[in-house]
A and B are shown apart, each in its own frame.
Chain A
Amino acid sequence: MHPQFIIDASYFAAAFLFIYGLKRMSSPVTARSGIVVAGLGMLVATLASFLYYFGVDEAARPHLPVNITLAATALVLGTSWAWWSGKRVAMTAMPQMVALYNGMGGGAAAAIAAVELLRPGAAHAAVPLVVTVIGALIGTVSLAGSLIAWAKLNGNINGTWRMKGQQVLNGTVFLATLGLGLYIVFVAHGHASPGLTAAFFAGALIFGVLMTMPIGGADMPVVISLYNAFTGLAVGAEGYVLQNPALMIAGMVVGSAGTLLTLLMAKAMNRSVSNVIFSNFGASGDEQQGEIKGSQKPAEAGDAAIQMRYASKVIFAPGYGLAVAQAQHKLYEFVQLLVAAGVEVKFAIHPVAGRMPGHMNVLLAEAGVPYDMIYDLEDINGEFKEADVAVVIGANDTVNPAARTNKSSPIYGMPILNVDQAKQVYVIKRGQGKGYSGVENELFYADNTNLVYGDAQKVLVAMIQAVKSLEGGH
């Protein structure tokens, strides 16, 4: 059989397995097998690609032994590093790992484009050349942006970085990069000097960095999802250049799915995507602190726990603080004690609780919390009125009543969990700091709110002990 036929057939199989795998991933029951199916497609396609060995250009033949060794080495190194790092990363750090791997995919797409543009004597038709440059631009921006997103979520870069005239600077860098791209396509016809080509990629890298630096942590999920879509589009574009249908289909499926996911995430936060990228969210938060009446009233973990033990209905609203403290197991242990004591317990999950939609569900699932205890915002918001106690664990912006009432607040209009309507609210948080948006939270000053200061893990351990010692005393 002709090697090219085997390659084509393998790519066809891979494209089918990717789509079928993603389809299976879209239901919780079949999701686990979905990734295995898609993984099989990747394995088949990668192995078949070694058959390129038999069909390379005449000019590349003398280099083949070196090239195939390099390819195998890079495959082994990349796979083993990623496998190792992916296995050992904590569940709470998943969002930044997705960002990191995604950036690498964007970098790979950019590398393909760079090889195409630097290949001496290659004949470049106009359309593929335009697509090459577009893919290079998108892929490189995705690489730089994803790395910044990763560093921000990982804590390597703290806070946001802004300066006067940033929009102008970003616009200038983008236009300069675009200008270089247009030059490569229409003036140099794909045979620009290596220096100019390098300048084009450098411009795209700088733009990706500049574009991501001012974006705050709360918006990171939207940004990561956007770059995920970017990488997909870049891969699809380079797939067209290489005449590779597997790359075209996989890239475009991810490009459109990622775009839709980005829009869904932005909608859950009541922000538009352009708002996320171009506005300085949180910058206005410090200026307009409305006066908030009342004071923050502290409470002991044990007292709070005992009140919950004798309540009839308790709703937990976990947020990123729970994830940071890795307290999901302790939380479920405490909840099981409450359930055993006859308390009706529910979990209320805000669409963007944690750092990505569904992130909190993953963490609670890790702790073994059954599905039927977990409720989405729309399903649970009517129930807070009937709850004796609402417990906010490391969440802030997602429970800030200002989103409902204060039109001048930057988060006004964002759907929030109505925890303030419960008879008693306990907020477990580490200190008196603000949320990621930088907005003060009047919930913490409300008459029916008490704050339990401390790391979520330690507070929950104290709560478990309080309830257990109560049972022991009987």
Chain B
Amino acid sequence: MDLTTTLTGFVALYIFMLAAFTGYEIIGRVPAILHTPLMSGSNFVHGIVVVGAMYALLNATSLVEQVIGFIGVLLGASNAAGGYVVTERMLEMFKPSKADAARQQKK
């Protein structure tokens, strides 16, 4: 299929390089207490693979491709949804404890 964007050669390399620095910068400044939630959060972000799997499945022309594409979308969707729920549950806990800390300091 014909895509309007073509990302070949150096354009792709530029994207990869800038994205790599972005990831490095984001994690580099994070306090240790957020390492697990952030690992989980980045685990969620690569769940975007589901989009690629959908593309592969929609363009499938044989039974084998359909089966593998189906598995791909299934796994990708699980990665995204599971990553989201787990990360949100972890981060949710940081809120009440912050409030507690503030309350205790006021006392």
Partners in one complex: yes
Q: Are A53 and B96 in contact (CB under 8 A)?
A: no
A66 to chain B, nearest CB (A): 7
Contact partner of A78 (CB less than 8 A), chosen from B3, B16, B81, is B81
Contact across chains for A253 and B42 when beta carbons are under 8 A apart = yes
Note all chain A residues with C-beta closer than 8 A to B53. 108, 111-112
Q: B23 and A257: CB pair below 8 A?
A: yes
Q: Which of A61-82 contact B (CB under 8 A)?
A: 63-64, 66-68, 70-71, 73-75, 77-82
Q: Contact check: which of B6, B51, B61, B85 meets A63 at CB < 8 Å?
A: B61
Determine the interface band of chain A, counting residues with CB < 8 A from chain B.
35 or more
- Whether A248 contacts B16 in the complex (CB less than 8 A), given A78-B78, A365-B93, comes out as yes
- In the bound assembly, the distance between CA atoms of A245 and B48 in angstroms comes to 11
A374–B72 Cα gap in the complex (Å)? 42
Q: How many A-B residue pairs have CB under 8 A?
A: 408
- Interface check A165, CB cutoff 8 A: no
> For residue B34, which residues in chain A have a CB less than 8 angstroms away from its CB?
25-28, 31, 358
Do most interface residues of chain A lie in helix, strand or loop, or is the interface mixed? Answer: helix
Distance to closest chain B CB from A107 (angstroms): 4
Closest to A339 in B: B104
Quick one: given A101-B79, A248-B16, are A46 and B85 in contact (CB under 8 Å)?
A: no
Which residues on the B side are within 8 Å of A357 (C-beta)? 32, 35-36
- Please give the distance in Å from B73's CB to the nearest CB on chain A: 4
From A77, A118, A362, give the contact of B64 (CB < 8 A). A118
A13 within 8 Å of B by Cβ?
A: no
A342 part of interface (Cβ distance < 8 Å): no
Residue interface bits A6-38, CB-to-B below 8 A is 1, else 0:
001001001000110111011111011011101
Which of A83-91, A302-310, A417-425, A433-441 is near enough to bind chain B? A83-91
Do A78 and B73 touch across chains, with their CB atoms under 8 A apart? yes
CA distance A359 to B19 in the complex (A): 27
- Given the known interface contacts A98-B40, A370-B104, the answer about A35 and B82 at a Cβ–Cβ threshold of 8 Å is no
Partner of B51, one of A49, A107, A111, A256: A49
Return chain A residues, CB-CB under 8 Å to B46.
102, 105, 228, 231-232, 235, 250-251, 254
CB distance from A344 to the nearest CB of B (A): 14
Do the beta carbons of A31 and B40 come within 8 Å of each other? no
Is A42 within 8 A of B44, CB to CB? yes
CB pair B40–A32 under 8 Å, yes or no, is no
> Given the interface contacts A104-B75, A357-B35, does A119 sit within 8 Å of B23 by beta carbon?
no
* 9 A–B pairs (Cβ distance < 8 Å), ordered by A: A26-B29, A28-B31, A31-B91, A87-B85, A104-B76, A105-B46, A240-B12, A251-B19, A253-B45
